């Protein structure tokens, strides 16, 4: 789920894993260090938006997908219907 960084409010102590993506962008994965639960990611190519793991939300069932990303690198069994 892509959201404005300014609207993100995370409670608790986060750890960060940094790496270089295939694109060359610097990526950061934010997670709770104690349990390892992934929360959100960010890219050096966009400092305004972050990608939240929907499973980290209090009410993930309230979210309806509207876009699909990374479709060029999907595996054959990962299929989403298109309109």
Q: What is the pLDDT of residues 29-68, one digit of tens each?
A: 999 988 999 999 999 999 899 999 988 888 888 988 787 7
pLDDT band at 83 (very low <50, low <70, confident <90, very high): low
Sheet strands (E) in the chain: 2-4, 14-20, 26-32, 38-43, 46-52
User: 40 and 52 in contact (C-beta within 8 Å)?
Assistant: yes
Domain ranges of the chain: 2-73
Candidates 8, 74, 73; CA nearest to 40 is 8
Q: Which of 4-8, 19-23, 70-74, 75-79 has the lowest mean pLDDT?
A: 70-74
Work out the percent of the chain whose per-residue pLDDT is above 70: 95
């Amino acid at each position: 789920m892509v959201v404005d960084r300014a609207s993100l409010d995370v409670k608790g102590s986060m750890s960060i894993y940094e790496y270089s993506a295939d694109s060359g962008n610097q990526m950061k994965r934010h997670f709770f260090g104690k349990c390892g639960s992934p929360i959100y990611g960010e890219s050096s190519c966009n400092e305004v938006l972050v990608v939240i793991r929907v499973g980290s939300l209090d009410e993930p069932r309230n979210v309806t997908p509207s876009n699909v990303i990374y479709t060029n690198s999907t595996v054959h069994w990962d299929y989403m219907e298109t309109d």
